[in-house]
Every structure is written in C-alpha cells, then in structure tokens.
Structure 1
C-alpha cells in the first residue's frame, strides 16, 4: 500500500460530502436524540464493514460487472430511501401529544429502527460497493496480491466515518434543545423527507 495519507485525505473529503447517510443521521439525531443518531451511524458503519469484506472477496466486482445485479441493488436501495422519505412526510401528520407509556414504547422502537435505517440505507446503495471496488485499488501496488491492504483501507474508511459522524451527531445534539418545537420538528421531517425521496429517485434513475 502506498500514499496512505493521501488515501486518508481523500476519504475525509469524501466523507464530508453530504449524502443519504448524512440525511438519515441528521433526521434521527434531531428528532430522536443523541442515542438515535449514534445507533444510526453504528448501522451505517456495520454496512460499510460488509462492503469492505464484500470488495475483498470479489462480490462488489460481480455487482459492478453485472447490469442486472447492479440494477437490483439500485432499485431496492432507491425504493428504500423513498420509503424513508414518505415515512417522514407521514410522521408530520401524527399527533404530537402522546401518553407517557406510549412515548416510552415509541422511543425504544425508534432506537431499534435507527440502526436498521442507517444499516439499510448504506448497504442497499450500490454506489458504495462500486466505490470500494474502484477507489481502494488506486492506493495498492499492482504487484501486491495480498488482501490485507484492502482490509486495512476499508477499516480506515469505517473509522474515519465513525469519527466524523460521532462529532457531527454530538454537535447536532447540542442545538437539539432549540429545535424541539413542533413547528421545527415538522420542518425537519419535511426537509429530510424531500431529501431522502430525492436521493432515492436519483439513485434509481442513475445509469449503469
């Protein structure tokens, strides 16, 4: 592996670019709190680990070379993002006043949902698989046939992603108290829903 620090720099720049992962982490942090945001990014990182090992064993190569398999991932991933967006729109219409017991049950359920949303949003995005397949080899010597550099770079990307999102989530959580008004929450749900639906449509319509 060569130019490792260049790889780290490129990873940081790519991670800072907003995408579906950022959108769902933002929504869950502002609406459900720090724990919801952290569980979301934990799901995202678990999915990134799967993409890393999939790239190592060649699964990503199969997806990238097969238009059929790529399309399956593309449409399923796009549909899931649209589903999350529509779910955000629906939540705007829910009553804000709930009993204490119902609220506690919803929080527990939402916390589990946060992990699933973060996990599936990343896992069902075929662009992540193609990214790992095409980006990682740029920093490995062509004469090196070991899979260890790919694992090391994949883990580096996951760790950098986790560090950034933990910082981002904690920052959002500090201003959450100013954003708990019903009108603000409805605006957050509406904006996030629009962004997720937009990402879903874009992912589904992207050409192979």
Structure 2
C-alpha cells in the first residue's frame, strides 16, 4: 500500500463534503436529539463496512460494470432519498407546538428509525460503490494482492467518518435549544426535506461508469 497518509488526508476532505449522509444525520440530530444523530451515524458506518466488504470481494466491481445492477441501486436509492425528503416536508403540514412530554414520546418513537435511515441512505447509494472502486486502487501497489489494503482503507474511512460525525453531532446538539424552537425547526426541516429530494433527483440522473 502506498501513500497512506495522503489517503487519510483525502478521506478527511471527502468526508467533510456535505452529502445525503450529512443531511440525514443533521435532520435526525435536530428532530430527535443526540441519540438520534448517533444512531444515524452507526447506521452509516455499518453500511460503509458492507461497502468495504463488497469492494474486497469484488462485488462492487460487478455492480459498477453492470448497467442493470447499477441502475437498480441508483433508482432504489434515489426513491428512498426522495421519500425521506417528502416525508420530512409532509410532516410540516401537521406540525403543531406540542407539550414537552409529547415531544419526548414522539422522539423515542422516531429514534428507532434513525439507524435504518442512516444505513439505507448510504447502502443504497451506488456512488459509494463507485468511490470505493475508483478511489481505493489509487493507493495500492500494482500487481499486489488488494485484500488487506482494501480492508485497511475501508476500515480507516469508516473510522474517520464515525469520528467526524461524532464531533459534528456533538456540535449540533450544543445549539439544539435554538434549533428546537418550533419556527426554527419548521424552517430547517423544510430546507432539509428539499435538500434530500434534490440529492435523490441528482442520484437518479447519475450515469453508470464503464
């Protein structure tokens, strides 16, 4: 394996770029709380480990090279993101100022789906598979076995992602008092819902790489 420190720096830059995973983690942290954000992060990291395993076993290469499989993942992922966006916007219609105990009971219910949202958002994004197949090989010695290097890089990327989201969620939780004001939350959820739909439409128009 070559230039591991360069790989780490590139990972950090890529992780800091906002995407669907960041949008979901942000939404769930503000709407459910720190617990919801951490569950979302855990779901995202579990999906990354599956992508790592798929890359190690060569499954990602099959998905990227197969137009049909790529399209299936792409459209299912896009529909899921659009569904989450519409669900967020639809929730604004019936959103009323609730008592604290009602909000807490609702948050306990909502937190159960945070892991699933983080997991599916990342797992159903074929761009992650493309990333692993195009980015990781650049740091492997030509002609050498890729099993351990891919495993190490995938684990490193997952750990860095977890560290960033843990820090990010902690910061969001610090300003949650302001964000939990009904009007602020409605504006934020409206913006987040629109962004999720935008990510879904962008993913749907993504072309397979051959």
Task: Report the TM range for the smaller structure's normalisation.
Answer: over 0.9
- Aligned residue for 1:110? 110
Structure 1 residues 100 and 174: CA distance shift in structure 2, 3 A: closer
- Aligned residue for 1:150? 150
1:32-56 alpha-carbon deviations (Å, 9 max, x no partner)? 1111101001100000000000001
- Aligned residue for 2:82? 82
1:60-71 correspondence runs (5 A): 60-71=60-71
**Which structure 1 residue ranges, 5 or more long, are not aligned?**
none
How far 1:181 moved relative to its partner?
1.1
Checking the alignment, whether the CA contact within 8 Å between 2:39 and 2:114 is kept in structure 1 is yes
- Aligned residue for 2:169? 169
- The answer to whether residue 19 in structure 2 is matched with residue 19 in structure 1 is yes
Q: Please, what TM-score do these two structures have when normalized by structure 1? A: 0.96
Moved over 3 A (4+): 97-105
- Paired with 1:156 and 1:74, the residues of 2 have a C-alpha distance of 25
- Aligned residue for 1:29? 29
Q: Please, what TM-score do these two structures have when normalized by structure 2? A: 0.95
How many residues in Structure 1 have an aligned counterpart in Structure 2? 208
Structure 1 residues 100 and 182: CA distance shift in structure 2, 3 A: closer
Structure 1 residues 100 and 16: CA distance shift in structure 2, 3 A: closer
How far 1:99 moved relative to its partner?
6.4
How far 1:146 moved relative to its partner?
4.4
- Per the alignment, in what secondary structure is the counterpart of residue 141 of structure 2? coil
- The answer to whether residue 207 in structure 2 is matched with residue 194 in structure 1 is no
